[in-house]
Structure 1
Amino acid sequence: MKDLIVSILRDAIERARAAGQLAAGIPSIGIEAPRDSAHGDVASNVALTLAKAERKPPRAIAEIIKSHVAMPAEVSEVSVAGPGFINFRMSPPYWHSEMRRAASAGRAFWKPRPWDLRLGAGKKVQVEFLSANPTGPLTVGHGRNAVLGDAIARLYEAAGFDVTREYYF
């Protein structure tokens, strides 16, 4: 998704430059999740980074960039929010294709890249979970904590840590 959004923004900025609405070169384009999910799936602060070079308000730059965005099928909406963030909402077919890709790749979809495995680099981690109270009744919360603890341990393993699980009944 990040590569797609960066590509869309680069093309839009290039079109705006060709139209004479922007003069500065293309900066590095930052992509992040918006603070408020109502704004969309992905946000970029590229208009804020261009403001000084363009000598225009970031929101005006964001509107210029938005007007030059060529909407691919993967994007359902582009909007400008706050001081000049450009927000993208991905279309349902995009999410459906990502789910199909994840299902067909199986476990390999979730495997980290080889350079991400250096994060843990064999460091030892102990995850303690499921301390169910043997003197009282078991609850749904006890089952939830078992699943949560095991999920945390699996995340550590995926990041390259040597994980020891310890749980009590």
Structure 2
Amino acid sequence: MTAPPNARSANGGAATPSQPSSRRDKRRWSLPAAPGPTLRQRIERREREIGLRCSDVSCGLGPSDEDPVPVVDVSSLRQISIRPLKDHGEGDRVCEHTFHPSCLVSAERVAGWGQEDKKDDRDEEVEVSCPVCRAVGSISREDWEEGACALA
């Protein structure tokens, strides 16, 4: 006579040496290592290295996929750094990021950093915030006006 399928064996249901253990320690699943930067990230990094793209994530002057042969205007590719405020900090820049003047003005307007106040104030410096790391510093009024004119 055979035992029913749900009946326990004589040793209390423990696995015999010929059967694999059902209580084997399972390794916890983890996400595999990333393969590295994507093609898009590699291209944008290389464009930043040669000066075609600034640090702004939405750089409007960098080459586009729709342009088979990009036309580069050297005068529009000038990049600026954000300097420390007059009474704060030392050094020539508050962070390592560089921007086209128009990209920085656009990012400031999107962030809502008081575009109206910057127009009315006639100091030689304009207070700005880095769109990447949010470090606060200033740029010259000339650079601000150049960026604003390029967006108009």
Larger radius of gyration: 2
Do Structure 1 and Structure 2 share a fold, with TM-score over 0.5?
no
Compute the TM-score of the two structures, normalised by the length of structure 1.
0.20
Kindly indicate which of the two structures has a greater share of residues assigned to helix.
1
Give TM-score, length-normalised by structure 2: 0.22
**If each structure's strand is expressed as a fraction of its own residues, which one has the higher value?**
1
